[in-house]
Amino acid sequence: MDKRMTWEEIKATYPDKWVGLSKVEWKNSANVRSAVVEYVGDCGGDALRRQIAGEDMYTTYTTPDNLCPLGILVGGR
């Protein structure tokens, strides 16, 4: 997973997944242009734990923009 991908490629490759991104290039202050995917999973808690432990990555969900994922709230261990 060392390849830089656009946000559209990330969403198409990992639909409805939590992703941890590094080397993020931003379109603006809130939108990813491209990044390297470091983590993919069903639970955002795992990615957030890695972030808290010191990994330099941005955690987000690849769901459509009009939906709110609940996995981080109810799917954590």
For the residues 12-28, what does the mean pLDDT come to? 93
Is residue 77's pLDDT more than 70?
A: no
Chain mean pLDDT for the chain? 84
What digits encode the pLDDT tens for the residues 32-67?
999 999 999 988 888 888 889 999 999 998 976 655
Query: In this predicted structure, what is the pLDDT of residue 27?
Result: 93
Judged against a pLDDT cut of 90, whether residue 71 lies above it is answered with no
3 state SS for 17-65: CEEEEEEEEECCCCCEEEEEEEEEECCHHHHHHHHHCCCCCEEEECCCC
**What single-letter amino acid sits at 64?**
P
